Amino acid sequence: MDLQFNQRLAVVTGADSGIGLATALTLAVEGARVLMTDMASDTLTTAVNHVRVAAPGIEVEAIPADLTSQSDVEKLLKKAKDMGGAHMLAHLAGIRGAAGDFVELTDSGWQETLDVDLMGAVRVCRAFIPCMLGRGYGRIVLTASENALQPYAVEFPYDAAKAGIINLAKSLSKAYGKHGVHVNVVSPAFVKTPMTDEMMQQRAQENGTSVEEAEQSFLHENRPGINTGRRGAPQEVANVIAFLCSDVAAYVDGSNYRVDGGAVETAFG
């Protein structure tokens, strides 16, 4: 399928690994110029080189940014403007954040998680939407989670932040869809990323098992709705993001695409 990117510029956050890297790679291979950002400059450099090798002749640049910092977001915006301005924004940066017994979670734990996962999305959207409105064209894809629709005990701040992402995207689509800026969401579940790798390593250590055994027990005990019986691959989420960034999805706006292997038990939401 021709996604018709035609050298348009895509900004990808959380791009040094996992779904973010897979998304940057997919967009570049499909013909989009890519500006990648993440917090750590060393891993970001490695990721950029990987994308450049996979998409020869495509412009791929990077700039480190902490999306909890307004000044860093402004630096990212300036870099994008120097490259001609962003047509697409795929926002994949996020953390699991504070987790545990609800009554033991502190305000600082809540605030950190919300600042990264919800306010990070607010900041990048606020930065890039005016430029998109100026050209009458934009595609924004935000990242929620199965947790937004099927919350799990112990991940209270994350659950709340990801539910907020879906409502943020819907509100933005109502405000700006008529002006050519479309905003959608992907909601992955148990995808192989550094975040879930860390969770499985911790589980393996606690249970005295291998990581593979920890993963299988987690699927059986905690995610029985995943029909595929495995963790998802970052590429499987990136494929949906690329579709939503493209003109092939020109009639899709304000939607939430669940890329979850069936994890969410309800047919609605």
In the numeric block, which tokens belong to residue 22?
Answer: 């897979």
| CA-based nearest residue to 13, from 123, 91, 70 | 91
Strand order in the sheet with 138-143: 60-62, 33-37, 9-13, 88-91, 138-143, 181-188, 256-259
- CA atoms 38, 11, 94, 115: torsion sign: positive
Contacts for 221 with CB less than 8 Å, ≥ 6 apart: none
- In the numeric block, the tokens 């393996």 are attached to 204
How far apart are the C-alpha atoms of 129 and 174, rounded to whole Å? 13
Q: How far apart are CA 127 and CA 187, in angstroms?
A: 23
Query: Where are the extended beta strands (E) located within the chain?
Result: 9-13, 33-37, 60-62, 88-91, 138-143, 181-188, 256-259
Catalytic position from the list 158, 176, 251, 257: 158
Ramachandran class of 49: left when φ > 0, alpha when ψ lies in -120 to 50, beta otherwise? alpha
Exposed, middle or buried: residue 169 (CB in 10 Å: 0-12, 13-18, 19+)? buried
Altogether, the residues listed in the chain come to a count of: 269
- C-alpha angle with apex 136: 135 to 141, nearest 5 degrees? 100
158 is catalytic: yes
Q: Which residues are catalytic?
A: 158
